[in-house]
Every structure is written in structure tokens, then in C-alpha cells.
Structure 1
Amino acid sequence: MLDLFTIFSKGGIVLWCFQNTNQIFTPSVNALIRNVILQERTGVSSFDHNGLALQYKLDNEFDLIFVVAYQKILQLSYVDKFLTDIHLEFRDKYKNELTDGEFFRNFNFMDAYNDTLRAAEEWSKNQAKQPKQMRSFEDSFKSKKTVASMITRKGEEKPVKTAKKKEVNFADDDVMLASPPSSPKAQENGLINEEILAANRAKLAKKMMKKKPEPKKSPKSPQSEKAGKKPRKWELEGSSKDLESLERTTDRPEDAKSNFTPDTEMVGQMKGIIKDLEVESSDDDYDEQEEEEIETQKTAKKSSKGGMFSIFRGLVGSKNLSKSDMEPVLDKMKDHLIAKNVAADIALKLCESVAVKLEGRVLGTFESVASTVKSTLNDSLVQILSPRRRVDILRDCIEARKQKRPFVISFCGVNGVGKSTNLAKICFWLIENDMRVLIAACDTFRAGAVEQLRTHTRHLNALHPPERHAGRQMAQLYEKGYGKDAAGIAMEAIKFAGDAGIDVVLVDTAGRMQDNEPLMRALTKLIKVNEPDLVLFVGEALVGNEAVDQLVKFNQALADYSSNAEPHLIDGIVLTKFDTIDDKVGAAISMTYITGQPIVFVGTGQTYTDLKALNAKAVVHALMK
């Protein structure tokens, strides 16, 4: 039983609707539009929301969407057939009205809806009554493979065996000579064979006589015998004088001060909104001529069938796109995306989404399939990278300051992706915008993590001394050493920041693999106890398929190990090491597609000013080249 069936345009105009219950379906349909259709996930035909299963079908010629909703607990096997039939029924009945764009009229479709639904239900019952027919052995892939292998073995083994016997018989000369010829012809052949065998014996004897002379061993020099292994002299090996600064066994409130000269040219460069990322594409551009070659090869075979009228038909652009038309171009697009570091599963889903989006659409005048597919994929990628919600950290920090509380940002990710380094960059950007920052050292596992943050704090205070900010220290470090509970340290740091009037708290967590259950539970505890305003996942731009696994399992762990009804998941992404990948920017697509969350920051270097905001159009331009 269907609870809802509706037909509406892509512009939001509802053409016809049937509702079987008093339940409100607006939130579920809006969730389908927001999370599937607008996020370019149209390759997925079903969507679950609040106990409802929603299935849909797109009509790209008239820009219509057909949506069916029913209880998720029901297993309805006729929904796909019903959507296909009702789609064709509505198109055939109101084709003229849809062509003229008459959406604001009364569509009397109730009788056709009931007839189509009844036919689909009857078809489902008949299919259930029929016993499942098994394929015959001859039709199965296994039988074809077995028969083919048997035939090839019989044809290939015999000549190989005979060839081996002939080669072996050349060595058995004595046996061949011992057998007398049985006829005059055989005698003549025997004389010839004896001459050949005699020549072969002579060649074999020459080979046996030729022995390679053994190389003369050079006498060992007396110097080499006496020379022993010398110890290597390292350049910066240190001495006993350096032990005091390297001592870590006792509590040391401050490290020995290093000779750090602040680069005053950095100061003032990060004030205001972060600059957009500029991506330079390489010279090996994605040539559109290769796309056109696919189409010309395909249409060349059909050129003789259409005659003269096919020329005019192609000029006016009346061709409806089908999956077979788009398949060669989409295959090439998929390989291109994978080569640009997009995860293979994501590239496949994107191409499937483009195929669903374009199927049935009428090409415009002088439009080619390749150019249409490429422009649609380009728009889809820009839509994926564009944030669905507003991300303005400076504004949120000012709002938190008005509420007299610190704005808390927590960083998480796997090992070695640059969490502490990019935390320091974000801290510098916040200080440039007159925000007092407290860094909470919650990485209590990695040796040197606290010292690294202390060094960053000292450098940031050197760039922005208290004298420039009315005696206020702009960067502070809150640490409790190693081996402590990270959630407790973060809680104490947030309380300290609230009492001291600090604006922002940046929580640095330990790197952890997505499969490490104890560490993932500890991260979930930290987020649940402290409830940060923003949870940022730090990932490097070098990863491909691994990005999908990391983000899926991080989000899943935060949901599974939290006791809250609505657990706090990843809010945004920090993409690091972007300067090392040239134009292979596919990791940005993979991460955003998986989580649906925006890329907030992009790390592009090793200085405090190497922090950018993602420019969706620039990234897609580099990706499609």
C-alpha cells in the first residue's frame, strides 16, 4: 500500500498528489530533495527518512519528479514497475500540456493512478505465485567457461607434447641409428639423417670443448686487509652540553628558548576573510577533441541509414539522450576522475547520477553528447563542493563572545595528516582577527605533541606580542602532560577559557586509525562531554580511496559509540598538503561527497599564512582538465 504519490516539477510546482494517510510527508520529501536530488546522488533510486521509504523517478524531458512513499517495514516489489508505468501514463496523457508548460491546470489523473496501481499489484501477485525458474546449465556462465576451457585444452596440448618428443629424440641418436631402414626410401632418408646427426654431434663436441677460462683472482692488497670499519661522524650529533635542553623526564614548565626570529612580513596578511584557493592545472588538459572522436566513431556507422532528413533532424537538436549514447563518454569521464584521485566508487556514482539526470533530455541545437555530459558533470561537481549551510567561523566567534563563552573547535583525524600544524595556522588567522585563543593539548599519546604546540604558541606570541594588543596574550597553551584523560583536559581548558575571557578554544586530539575502537571511543567521549561548536576532520589531499574509508568509519564510530539520540558528527573538513598534488584534486570531491559537509580550510604550505578557503569552481576546473 502506498502512503503518498506526488508529481512535481524541478521548480517546486506540485502537479498532482495523492495521500492515503493523515501523516505529514513534507519533511520526508524535502529531505529527499535536499539530500539526494540537490546533492547529485540521483544514481540512488531509494531514500529512507523517519521510517518511510521513498522512491523516485526523474523525467528530464519535462523536468518532472515522480515520488512514491510507503512504510519502510513493507517490502513492496512492484514500486519500480509502478513508477515506470505511471511515468509513461502521465506523459502520454498530458504530453501537449507539458510541452506548452501548462503546469497550473487541473490534472484529472485519479482513475489512471488507480488503474496503474491495481495493475502493478496484480503483476506482483502473479510474479509471487510463479515458481522461481532456474537457469539451465547451458545458459549459465559456468557451463560456457567449462566447455570453452575443455576445447582449448584438447587443441593446445597435443602439438605441445609432440614438439617436446621431437626435441628429446634429437639427443637419442643411438636409438635412431640402431633401427634399420625398412624400405629403399627409408634408406635414402636414413643417409640424410645420418649426415644431419653427424653434424649435430660435431657442434655438440665443439660446445663441450669450449670452456670459459676462469678469471684470475687479483691478489689482495695489504692496505685493504688492514683497513677496518670506521665510525661514521654525524654532522649534528650533539654533545653533553645539549642534555639539559633535551631533558624530558622531569616536569619542565618551559622549554629552552630557541633562536627564533619572527617574520614580521606575515603580520596583517591573514586579516579578514581567508583568500580563496587558486589551483593551477597541468599542461595535459582534458581534450574535448577526444570526446568528439567517440561520438564521431559512433555516428559514422549510422550516417548511411538516416538519409537526407537525418541531417536536418540533427541540426534542430531533436534527439533524446539515452544511456547507450552517454555510455562511451561516461566511461571516459569515470577513468579521468579516477586518474585525478577521485575514489573509484565515488566516480562511478557520479557518472550514474549524470546518466539519470540526462536520460530523456532533448539535445539543443548543435549540442553534442560529449559536451552536454561534460557540462552536466561540471555543474554537479560544483554543486557537491558548494556548502549546503553557512560556514562563517569569525561571525560565530563574535556571537559566542557576546554570549560570554568561548567558541570551541575540535580537530580529529588519522596519524600524520597535519592536525597540529593546521591548528596553528587557524590560530594565527584568528589572532590576526583580534581573537584570543587557547590551545588545549589533548594529544596525550604522541611523544613531542605538547612540545610542538608549546613551540607554536611561543612563535605566535612572538609574531603578535602583548604590546600590540593592549597587554593581552593572544595565544596560550593548556596542557597537563602525557597519559591523562583527553576529555578531562578539554573540559578543564574550556572552563579556564570561560573564566579568563578567552574567545576561542582549539582542541588538538591524538591521531588515530579509523579501526581502533578504544581510541574512537575516547574521541566520542571527548565530543560528547565537551560538546564543541565545530568538529573538523583533518585529511590530506594525497589520499584516494582511503578517504572514503576514513570518513565513513569516523562518522560511524561517532554515531555508534555515543549514547545521545542525535550524536555530534563531523561538521567540516580541513584538507591538508594541497600544495603537493598538482591538479589531482579528487580527494576534495570524495570527502565532500561522503559526508555532505563542506571543506572549511585548505592547507597549502608550511607557514602560518598558507591557509586558504576552498574555491569550488577553481577545483572543478582543475579536476576536469
Structure 2
Amino acid sequence: MSQSLIVFSPSGDIHYQFNNKVIPFNDLIASLVNQTATEVDTNFFTCSANQKRFYCYKKNDKYAASYFDSVTTIDNEKIKQTLSDVLKTYFKLVDDLDPEGQIHVHDKLKTLIDYQFNQLTKLQQIHADDSGTSTPKAVVSSTSASKKAPASSKKKMRKWVDGEMVETTDHSALDFSTGNIDDSFQADSELLKVDVNAFKKENDLVLVNELNDIIGTSDDEDEDETDEAGTKSGFLSKFTSYFGSSINIDEVSKQFHEQLISKNVAPQTARQILDRIKNQLKGKSVTLANFKKALVDELTKTLSPNVSTDLLYDIKAKANRGRPYVISVVGVNGVGKSTNLAKLAYWFLQNDLDVLICACDTFRSGAVEQLKVHVNNLKALNANMNSNAKIDIFEKGYGGGDHVVATAKAAIQYGATEKFDVILIDTAGRTHSNAKLMAPLKKFGDAANPDKIIMVGEALVGTDSVEQATNFNNAFGNKRNLDFFIISKVDTVGDLMGTMINMVMATNVPILFMGTGQTYTDIKRLNVKTIVDNLMR
């Protein structure tokens, strides 16, 4: 594993370097010039090329950049802070240009910058060691634990009894360790309500319908409608004088920037989109109509990356190969991974595919039981469809990191033996900014080697969606990325659909489905035109 750092200017001059591996930075510079690098935060960029992950921070007219040969397990914020500190040190201590145009670097400058960067690379090594050598703690049932712990040390819990909150020390209700799992979970009648019109049949395949309207549209009236006095009001009224005539691109860009941000598009993402348009139209006489068309085209292109989302055809094309089609579902805590995994399972059952759900969220108490409820619901629904497809759950209880990997491997082997078509692997939710929690994803991905990795992201998360998407996309190493997004809770945000633009633009990963509710048919395919029209409204 090696790391490199350079300080350079837009002209290509290198003013400082740590390590002598400078040539790989050409990939970063090309990405910056072509505007394909992801702007994670203001003036903070990242990209990957040739099995390297690059990071770059800009201040004034200089850039500080670094890359890592192996998968990066350092928080983006720590990398950004280090690169920012490097530039601060550089600007504080560097001499003026000498007559030959060369910058003299103090020994003190070299010592400080090298120290700052070495501290960062030590974090990389520490996290790698932690993720590779940690030993999972044994699961201890509440019964055995109570024998060792004095009564006074028991943590008090609270629960509702007859409308009042009371304290209790009874942990048995929350003991979901391996030896205490009950298989007799009943189906949830509320979740058994399905919409028979949620799918359509096409060429012997059952497909999810598109989202053709915006669920829970904004309470505000249409911004571009005419008021009682007959005057055009709202967003486009700001541009009345521009119709049919040349516009001030900077002024109009500023107004559209505010418009996109009002729809939950991250400021840096909105700026990237509009900067691309300004570059396209540079030197031309531009009308508002030209600008709007360019923006619509750019948003449409962003939501339509050149990646096939036809998952069913891919599954059927790889059938009978001796290994089930494996899909892993990842995401931060609470976004609805298990629920959307169950929606995928119901869709696969509609297409007569045998589904095995693997419980690899072995950290959160109740996660296995939650999946069992879903499986029982799906079995009940499947019976009503008179389908020959089967669904089951594979679980080995609760445990640490190695237990997750062992469970995934065992599930794939079991699925192959029992001739399942698809295995859906649930995973534990994890904070995207916690490098130590994110690091095990690479080990899991290498062991399970899923055919597809799907990240579930919330529609309501807003600007943080950029870093969430970027960190999960990078978590599986330089040779593997996310394949799809499922955007959950779309029914909660009205017309604020900017999160979709944020996540796709940050990663170039397409959106497979959107979650629009709690039942198994509350799922829609992306209609790009509907989303773009909404963002422009």
C-alpha cells in the first residue's frame, strides 16, 4: 500500500510532492478538466481510476491532492481536513516565486506537510488492521448474563403499560440471540394489502409500473400560474423580459441554482450542473428557452446513465449456471433496507422466481425476526397467487463480522443446493461517515461476491445524500461499485425530488426503483421525464 500527495496549480506545475509517484495524478487532472470528478463538498473532489482512489481540495489558485492504492477506509471529512490543512501550511510558509519561477520550500514546510499527511495515512493502516483482525464478541443470552452481573448493574428499560410508561429490568422480550429465536412469527395483515395494478405484464415478464405523477405534491400552488390580476407570478416571472432575447447567463444560472436547491438538490451538485451548461453555451447568444432546454437535457442525461436497469433479463440470462443470482442490499440505518428487500422479493415471486432471503443483519436486535415476518407475509401472498415459486429465509442468528461472512457463504451454498433462483442478502445499517463501520463491507463483498449491490437511500435525506452515495460506492474497493439505487420514502417528500439527482450524479449509478409506501406493491420505476419536469416546475 502506498500513498502520494502533491500541491499543484491549474497550469500543471507541481509545487510540492510527497512520494515520487506523480504520474497517476494525470488521471485526477483529466477528471477535473472533464468535469467527471465528484464534488463531495465545496471545493472537495474525488474520483477513481486505474484501481486508485483520488481526493483533491482546492483553495485559492492551488490544489492539494492525494491518492490511495488500496480501498480507502478513512472518513472523507478527515481527508478533506488534512488536504485543507496542507494548503493552509503551504500558503503560510512558502516563499514568493524566485526569478526562475520556482518555489522554494522550507525544511519546516516539508516537515509539517509530511507530518500532516503521515497522520492521515496512519488512520488508513489502523482501520485496515481493525477490520482485518477484530474478533466478533460471542452472543450471550440474557439468562447467562444475569448470572454474572449483579442486579444493581442491570440497565433499566421502559415500556408502556395501560397508557403509562413504567421501568422494567425484564430483558427477555429483547433477547434475540441464537438460542432464543422463535420461528412461529405470524403474517402481518396490514402488509398483506397489495395493489393488483402495481405491475404490468410485458413479454412474459411482470414489470413494476413507472411513477407518472408526483406523490404528495407540494402544498404550495403552482409557482408559474397567473394571479388574479392576470400577471404571471412565481419562478419564471423573474425571466419575463428574457423570453425571445439574449440573457445574462450568470444571472439566470443563479436563479436556476436557487430553484434546484429548493427541490433538495445539493448546492455543489446544482453548481456542477449549471457550470456544465454555462461551458456548453459559452460564446453563444443564448435565450432563456435555449438555457432551459440545455438544463432539461442535462438533468435527463444525469438520471439516465448508460447502464442497463433490466434486472429481470440479467437474472434469467444467468439462470441454470449452478449458482443463484445474488443481490446484496446496503444502506445507512433506518432507510428501509429490509422493507425494500421484501418488495424486491415480492416482485421476483410475481415472475415465478424462487427467492431465498439471507439474514446478514446480525447486529440489530430483532432484524432476523423482522425478516421472518416479511417471509411469512410473502408466503401467504404467494399462496393466494397460486404460484409455484417458493420463498424462504436463511439465518444463523446473531454475531460479529466473521459471522456475517460465514452466513452469506452458507446461504449461497444452500441456495445452490436447493435450486433457488435469487438470493437477497440483507445487511446491517451503518453510518456512512464512520470508516470503521464501513470497512467490513469490502470483506463482505469479496466473500459473497454478489451479482448486484443495491443501496437503499432516503428521498428525504437532502444534501447529505451526496456523501452517503459516494462513501457506499467506494466501500467495496476499487474493483467493485454499487449497481443500483432504490430511493425509499418518496411518498414523504412531495415534489422535493433532488436527492435522486444528488445520488446519481455523485456516482453515475442508476435508480432501479422508488419506494412509495409500506406494502409490497408500493414500488415504482423511475420516470425520468416526470422527475425532470418536477425539478423545473
Compute the TM-score of the two structures, normalised by the length of structure 1: 0.55
- Secondary structure, in 3 states, of the residue corresponding to 2:356? strand
Match of 2:527 among 615, 621, 624: 615
1:251 aligns to what? Answer: 180
- Using the alignment, how far apart are the partners of 1:412 and 1:261 within structure 2? 25
SS at match of 1:465: helix
Equivalents in 1 of 2:36, 2:444: separation in Å?
35
Matches within 5 A, 1:423-462: 423-462=341-380
Give identity over the alignment, percent: 35
The alignment status of 1:408 with 2:336, answered yes or no, reads no
Give me the whole-angstrom Cα distance separating, in 1, the residues matched to 2:475 and 2:47. 22
1: CA distance, partners of 2:101 / 2:174: 80
The one-letter amino acid of 2:418's match is A
Other-structure match for 1:337: 260
* Alpha-carbon displacement from aligned partner over 1:20-53 (angstroms, at most 9, x marks no partner): xxxxxxxx9xx989x858999xx999999669xx
Alpha-carbon shift at residue 445 of structure 1 (Å):
0.5
User: Does the 8 A contact of 1:294 with 1:329 survive in 2?
Assistant: no
d(CA) in 2 for partners of 1:401 and 1:409?
A: 14
Contact 2:470 / 2:506 at 8 angstroms: preserved in 1?
A: yes
Match of 1:358 in 2: 281
Q: How many aligned positions are there?
A: 387
Give, in angstroms, the shift of residue 360 of structure 1.
1.7
Do the aligned partners of residues 285 and 326 (structure 1) sit closer, same or farther apart at CA in structure 2, a change above 3 Å counting? farther
| Structure with greater strand percent | 2
* 2:212 equivalent in structure 1: 278
Closer, same or farther: CA 434–45 of 1 in aligned 2, 3 Å: closer
CA distance in 2, matches of 1:246, 1:130: 69
Looking at structure 2, the residues matched to 410 and 434 of structure 1 have their Cα atoms a distance apart, in angstroms, of: 20
Q: Relative to structure 1, is the Cα distance of residues 128 and 617 closer, same or farther in structure 2, using a 3 angstrom cutoff?
A: farther
* Unmatched 5+ stretches in structure 2: 1-26, 52-64, 67-96, 104-158, 201-205, 225-231
Instruction: Give me the whole-angstrom Cα distance separating, in 1, the residues matched to 2:45 and 2:488.
Output: 34
Using the TM superposition, give the Cα deviation of residue 518 of structure 1 relative to its aligned residue in structure 2, in angstroms.
3.1
Distance (Å, rounded) in 1 between the aligned partners of 2:428 and 2:160: 36
1:598 maps to: 510
2:270 is the alignment partner of 1:347? yes
Structure 1 gap segments, 5+ residues each:
1-27, 52-71, 74-125, 133-230, 300-313, 560-565
Structure 1 partner of 2:251? 328
TM-aligned CA deviation for residue 338 of structure 1 = 0.7
- Structure 1: distance between partners of 2:364 and 2:172: 22
Say if 2:333 is the partner of 1:421.
Answer: no
* Residue type of the alignment partner of 1:350: I
SS in 2 for 1:279: coil
* In the alignment, structure 1 residue 588 sits paired with structure 2 residue 512: no
Partner of 1:469, secondary structure, is: coil
Deviation, structure 1 residue 397: 1.2
- Structure 1 contact 539–576 (Cα < 8 Å) conserved: yes
RMSD: 4.1
2: distance between equivalents of 1:438 and 1:428?
11
- The structural deviation recorded for 1:277 is 1.1
- Alpha-carbon distance in 2 for matches of 1:47, 1:495: 36
The amino acid across from 2:257 in the alignment is: K
Query: CA 1:265–1:445 in structure 2 vs 1: closer, same or farther (change >3 Å)?
Result: closer
Whichever structure has more helix as a proportion of its residues is 1
State the secondary structure of the residue aligned to 1:402. coil
Q: TM-score by structure 2 length?
A: 0.64
Alignment of 1:365-514 (within 5 A): 368=287, 370-465=288-383, 468-470=386-388, 474-484=390-400, 485-514=403-432
Conservation of the 8 A alpha-carbon contact between 1:279 and 1:622? no
Match of 1:3 in 2: none
Contact 2:330 2:426 in 1 (8 A): yes
The residue matched to 2:319 in structure 1 has which SS? helix
Q: Secondary structure at the match of 1:502?
A: coil
Q: 1:449 to 1:356 in 2, by over 3 A?
A: same
Deviations, residues 432-456 of structure 1 (Å, cap 9, x unaligned) = 1101100000000101100000000
Distance 2:530 2:221 in 1: 17
Q: Which residue type is aligned with residue 599 of structure 1?
A: I
Give the partner amino acid of 2:162: W
Cα offset, 1:526, TM superposition? 0.9
Say which SS state the counterpart of residue 536 (structure 1) adopts: strand
Displacement of 1:375 after TM fit?
A: 1.9
Structure 2 contact 175–365 (Cα < 8 Å) conserved = no
**Partner of 1:234 in structure 2?**
162
Output the CA distance in 2 between the equivalents of 1:262 and 1:418: 14
- What is the match of residue 568 of structure 1? 480
Counterparts of 2:356 and 2:46, CA distance in 1: 46
Q: Secondary structure at the match of 1:408?
A: strand
> After the TM superposition, which residues 186-225 of structure 1 pair with which residues of structure 2 at under 5 Å, given as runs?
none
Q: CA deviation at 1:414?
A: 0.5
Q: How far apart, CA to CA, are the structure 2 residues paired with 1:498 and 1:386?
A: 34
CA contact (8 A) 1:39 1:384 kept: no
User: What is the CA deviation profile of residues 415-471 of structure 1, one whole-angstrom value per residue up to 9, with x for unaligned ones?
Assistant: 00000000001100010110110000000010110000000000000011299234x
Cα distance, 1:568 vs structure 2: 1.1
Alignment partners' CA distance in 2, 1:442 and 1:567: 23
SS in 2 for 1:468: coil
Q: Residue 521 of structure 1: CA displacement?
A: 2.0
8 Å Cα contact 2:192-2:519 kept in structure 1: no
- In 2, Cα distance between equivalents of 1:275 and 1:258: 26
- Is 1:441–1:450's contact at 8 Å kept on the other side of the alignment? yes
Tell me if 1:545 matches 2:463: yes
Q: What code does the residue aligned with 1:477 have?
A: I
| Equivalent residue letter for 1:405 | R
Q: The residue matched to 1:574 in structure 2 has which SS?
A: strand
Report the residue type matching 1:257 in the other structure.
Q
CA distance, structure 2, for counterparts of residue 232 and residue 503 of structure 1: 43
- Contact kept in structure 1, 2:193 and 2:519, CA below 8 Å: no
Q: Give the aligned partner of residue 226 of structure 1.
A: none
Tell me, yes or no, if the aligned pair for 2:185 and 2:373 is still in contact at 8 Å: no
